[in-house]
Chains A and B, each alone.
Chain A
Amino acid sequence: MIEFKINDQPVEAQAGWTVLDTARQYGIHIPTLCHHEAVEPSGNCRLCVVELRDGDWSKVVISCMYPVQDGLQVYTDSDRVKNVRRWILEMLLSECPASSEIQRLAQEYGVEQTRFAIHDPEEDCILCGLCVRTCKEVVGVSAISMVGRGVHKVIGTPYMMPSDACVACGSCVTVCPTGAMRRRLDLVRGEPKTRMAHSAV
């Protein structure tokens, strides 16, 4: 049994749990985007950051992958954490301004607008890769993946053509935190008429 504190509240956890697991068990809310219970955490969106304090010293870590330890002092909603989240949301807001989920979260944290350049006002994907992990871990087909590097990174299929591996189950749409997968689904599974007949063109 591992004992530590979240927001000064004593909590008990077991080895192998993460800070986020423990917080959720105790009903302590930590916002997340790329976290889904059905797949392994990947720490992509950074929204679940929490502050770990040790005397005068403190650090900010992502709770979804941080393993529990005895004596941790976790703060889920401290000023420092809120500040980091505002930064993250401001950046997300510039990356995918069209997502209503991001807008809602930004508003919750008092982020009205972003100081960063908006490249595509229609963009709604935060590139958290949850759809990719679900396709691989839950469905088991890996029809979609991250394509490209850096600023060119997108979610897609090989050659951006409807994928033969796709089983058209729609799991990616269901798990997507921003609803971005919805308009991308047809690019993955193909048009209705050819969906069942991907030919080897």
Chain B
Amino acid sequence: MSDQNKRVGVFLCECGRRIAPLLDLAGLRQKLQDQDAAATVAIEPFPCLPPGMASMKKIIQDNDINRVVVAGCEARIMLKKLERELAEVGLEQGQIDMVNLRDHVAQVHDLAPEEMAAKGYKLIKAAVAGLEALESTPKELVEWNGPVVILGGGIATYAAAQELVRREIDCIIAVVTDDWEDEIRMLHEHYPGERHYYDRLENIMREVDQSPYVRRITVGNLSKLIGRTGNYQLTFEDMGSELPRVYQAGAVIACLDGQMLNQGTDFGHDGVNVICHTEAEEMIWTRGVPEGKVLFWLNDYEANQSEFVHLSARAAWAMGRYMRDHSPNTQVTIMYNSKMPIPLSAGERKLGRQLGITWVPYDGALRPTVQQGYLTYCDPESHIEQEMPWDKLILSPRRSLGQEVTKVAQVMGLDVREGEFLEQKHAKVRPEMQGREETFLAGSARYPCDLHEALRQGRRAAAKTAELVLKAKAGELYAPRMVCVVDTSKCIGCGLCKEICDCGGIEPVEGHGGGIPRHVDPLVCTGGGTCAAACPYHALTLQNNTLAQREARVAALARDLAPGEAIAFGCAWGGLAAADNAGVKGLKYSPGTYMLGVSCIGQIDPSVMARALLEGSPGVLLIGCPPEECHHSYGVDHTWSRVNMIRKLLEFSGMDRRRVALAHSDLNQPEEYIKTVESFERLMAELGPIEQTPENLEKLQGIYATVNNPRVRWVIGATMRRPWEDVYPGNQRNALAFDQDLLGILMEEFVRERVTRILQTEKRPMKLPELAGAIKEEPELVRESLHEMVSEGVIGRLHKDGVAYYVLRT
């Protein structure tokens, strides 16, 4: 199917009684056919059911259709099925678009069927225009080069390796020691009180050790990691004097264990009689179980780590149990804060009673005090201060990330924050997405956990990685179609995209950065596209869902709008979903807003907003997720910057700033969504259309050119929220000063772009007053810009009869 011959088929859905009688489908088909809007237009009772699907496939094949618009219901729910089914007739993701006639038109407005059809017509034409602008890309196989490397030396390494071995997948495990038995001996430093698990762990380790699929390497820490899924290059620090060791890997799994630190003297820790869990384990290993009174104090609350108290309690319980099992002369008492539940099962409680392990609660309001031989605590029942005698006092450890783990995590490009563990709270988009930590991160450094959980995480990471490896082996690992790609000939390597991208899919082609083109890991990219909308040089594009398509959509729609009507964009997680739900609920609202769906509001390049105004829309409403809930790398925050820019430019042009607005909508609050839409509609009615005078058109052209100006896009990019910033708009301290600078830059570029355009269209040398008159700006302002442009060599200056003329340089 050739891309040159773009043939769009439109299928109108009756959807039982929900579209057909309310909306004049026959009239709509007639109009689409009369206007030659699509290669073929058909009405189906239910295109989504097998009979309709069969008929649709036949029409597609008979008419050589390679783009399809299904005008029926929610793309959020139905598009996947259509893509799956229509793949049989050669249609790929991106070649199918949906218009929600049911929930955005038929169910929500009180209009005559003909008027409903008129609204549907405009929406369908916009969708068709978008598809006609689509340059469909061929399927791209992800290159897979090398085995799976499991690094970091955490204990989950073995669980992950076992999972891979069982699937016959080659892996390299990078560990610290040559002998796995040493690792068991050191394990209590990271997972105290897990001795009962060691037999099973040994079995796992032995299986891995004996497997022909595993290669064991003993190297230093990871010092460099570059590449993308399928093709990584890892460099390790070498412990000897040899050169750094470099390995090729298809995938990387990091198994990182957190560190257990001892408590300080504020808990009476002396390393002899008052010790921590790890030291207690060490003592049992080397000197055997101590006799006498052993007291575990679960002091996690007092050490400000109450969230991990259940782990300490489990470790104390396991160690106490071991002690009682091996030494009848040891008395074990565990003191716990009365606020916490005891994390034992009924069977364990019974066993505890049989073994004589006592659990004593204390009132957390009073901090227990360590004295020689006694622990003073307040009894929560009687409120009497009691003293608990001890011969050995065992404290909970302090859990932290550890320096080496921090280093490895930094090299891996993970977001390492002071005092936090590695688990990241990313918004989730596609469940199969690879960039999520459960695919590559396991162990207690991710978040403190017990040994069992660490091993489970390792298995899970390996299982998810194995899916990829097996697909790659079978030659079926294709890159998702709607992800960002970089045109390396346009990319200057400024790194803006990587800075604002939260999904972590953007990497330099080689090395660490600098002026080197970037590329995108298609298996990590979420396809949000705010990075593409930020790129100063349009080097980054969201393939199969491009800026050109969105511009084509708004242009087609804006040209058709009647007075009082305006364009809105809604993101699939916020505005669009709320609009869908309004239709499902059967809420009614005024019909003047035309909703176009996008997967993230951050995809909307300012150039799309400018284009909408230029083509005749009185305004543009962008409805994203509620603040702090963007699913794609803060797209909604970035849109704020873009809207702000357009508003400034509108003001320069003497137009109302409010014509472009950002709104937030929760998908579960369709009533609030309706308030948003209706309020914007009232505003549009109040402002009226932008008069299509040559003067206004010239200004709108200027806005369009300005928002595509690399310098302006760069400056806007600088204001955009970074993933590490806690709030938008970053540091308020400089916000006002920045805004004033931005205003100056925008004005400058606005004038320059317009002067350039005038010189381009006039194609003759022009004098300053002429130019200033043409763009209706102060001559002083224009003179300044002209001087600068001359000195930069963008335009030339000639003198005739003592008067300066300016001319465009070619």
> Taking beta carbons and an 8 Å cutoff, which residues of A are in contact with B?
13-14, 16-18, 21-22, 24-27, 29, 36-38, 134, 138-141, 165-171, 173-176, 179, 182, 185-186, 192-193, 195-201
Is B50 a contact of A17 with CB atoms below 8 Å? yes
> In the complex, given contacts A37-B48, A171-B76, A173-B668, what are 11 additional A-B residue pairs having Cβ atoms less than 8 angstroms apart?
A21-B50, A21-B51, A36-B77, A37-B49, A37-B81, A38-B77, A168-B427, A169-B667, A173-B581, A173-B584, A175-B77
Contact of B686 with A by CB under 8 A:
no
Check A195–B78 contact: CB distance below 8 A.
no
How distant is the Cα of A47 from the Cα of B620 in the complex, in angstroms? 44
3 pairs of A and B residues whose beta carbons are closest in the complex: A37-B48, A25-B51, A170-B667
CB closest residue in chain A, given B583: A174
Partner of A138, one of B46, B51, B77: B77
Knowing A24-B16, A167-B428, A170-B577 touch, does A192 contact B668 (C-beta < 8 A)? no
Q: Secondary structure at chain B's binding surface: helix, strand, loop or mixed? A: loop
Bitwise, B606-640 to A at CB < 8 A (1) or not (0) is: 00000000000000000000101101000000000
B429 interface residue per 8 A CB criterion: yes
Contacts A24-B16, A174-B580 given; does A179 touch B50 at CB 8 Å: no
Contact B629 A192 (CB under 8 A): yes
Contact yes or no, A138 B428, CB < 8 A: no
CA distance A101 to B725 in the complex (A): 46
B431 close to chain A: CB less than 8 A:
yes
- Given the known A-B contacts A170-B667, A179-B585, are A140 and B49 also in contact in the complex, defined by CB atoms under 8 Å? no
Which single member of B307, B425, B432 contacts A140 (CB below 8 Å)? B432
Is A168 touching B631 in the complex (CB atoms < 8 A)? yes
Q: Is B423 an interface residue (CB 8 A)?
A: yes
Q: How many pairs of residues, A versus B, come closer than 8 Å at their CB atoms? A: 110
Q: Are B631 and A13 in contact (CB under 8 A)?
A: no
Q: Are B668 and A174 in contact (CB under 8 A)?
A: no
Partner of A201 from the list B50, B74, B307 (CB cut-off 8 Å) is B307
Give the size of the chain B interface in residues (CB under 8 angstroms): 43
**Closest CB of chain B to A105's CB: distance in Å?**
13
**29 A-B pairs whose Cβ atoms sit less than 8 Å apart in the complex:** A14-B51, A17-B51, A24-B16, A25-B49, A25-B52, A29-B17, A37-B49, A38-B81, A139-B431, A140-B430, A140-B432, A167-B428, A168-B428, A169-B572, A169-B573, A169-B577, A170-B76, A170-B573, A170-B581, A173-B584, A173-B667, A173-B668, A174-B76, A175-B77, A176-B584, A179-B584, A182-B668, A196-B426, A199-B423
Bound form: Cα–Cα A147–B377 in Å: 43
Which B residues from 418 to 472 make CB contacts under 8 A with A?
A: 423, 425-432, 447, 449
Which residues of A lie under 8 Å from residue B77 when comparing CB positions? Answer: 36, 38, 134, 138, 171, 174-175
Q: From A37, A175, A197, name the one whose CB has the most chain B CB atoms within 10 angstroms.
A: A37
Report the Cα distance A7→B161, complex, angstroms.
62
Residue numbers in A under 8 Å from B577 (CB-CB) = 169-170, 174
> Looking at chain A's contact residues, is the secondary structure mostly helix, strand, loop, or mixed?
loop
Question: How far, in angstroms, from A193 to B585 measured CA to CA in the complex?
Answer: 26
Report which of B50, B428, B447, B449 forms a contact with A14, defined as CB distance below 8 A: B50
Interface residue B45 (Cβ < 8 Å from any Cβ of A)? yes
- B54 CB within 8 Å of chain A: yes
Q: B80 — which chain A residues lie within 8 A by C-beta?
A: 38, 138
**How far apart are the CA atoms of A197 and B93 in the complex, in Å?**
31
CB distance from A60 to the nearest CB of B (A): 22
Q: Please tell me which one of the listed residues B425, B429, B449 contacts residue A167 in the complex, with CB atoms under 8 A apart.
A: B429
| Shortest Cβ gap from A15 to chain B (Å) | 10
Contact check, B431 vs A200: say whether CB atoms are below 8 A apart.
no
Q: How far is the CA of A108 from the CA of B78 in the complex (A)?
A: 29
Bitwise interface map of B from 43 to 65 toward A, beta carbon under 8 Å scored 1, else 0: 00110111110100000000000
Q: Is there an interface contact between B580 and A168, defined as CB atoms closer than 8 Å?
A: no
Interface readout for B71-114 with A: 1 if CB under 8 Å, 0 if not?
Answer: 00010111011000000000000000000000000000000000
A196 and B668 contact, Cβ closer than 8 Å, known pairs A22-B51, A139-B431, A170-B581: no
Query: What residues on A are CB-neighbors of B14 within 8 Å?
Result: 27
List the A side residues contacting B74 at CB < 8 Å: 174
Contact of B16 with A186 in the complex, beta carbons under 8 Å = no
**A37 to B70 alpha-carbon distance, docked (Å):** 14
**A24 pairs with B46, CB closer than 8 A:** yes
B447 and A200 contacting across the interface, CB-CB below 8 Å: yes
Q: Report the minimal beta-carbon distance from B483 to chain A, rounded to whole angstroms.
A: 18
Q: B629 to A16, Cβ gap below 8 A?
A: no
CB-contact partner of B50 in A16, A27, A174, A182, under 8 A: A16
Q: Are B46 and A37 in contact, CB atoms less than 8 angstroms apart?
A: yes
User: Quick one: given A38-B77, A174-B581, are A197 and B425 in contact (CB under 8 Å)?
Assistant: yes
Residue in B54, B78, B580 whose beta carbon sits within 8 Å of that of A38 in the complex? B78
User: Bound complex: CA of A21 vs CA of B54, how far in Å?
Assistant: 12
- Residue of A whose beta carbon sits closest to that of B449: A200
Chain A residues, Cβ within 8 Å of B48: 37-38
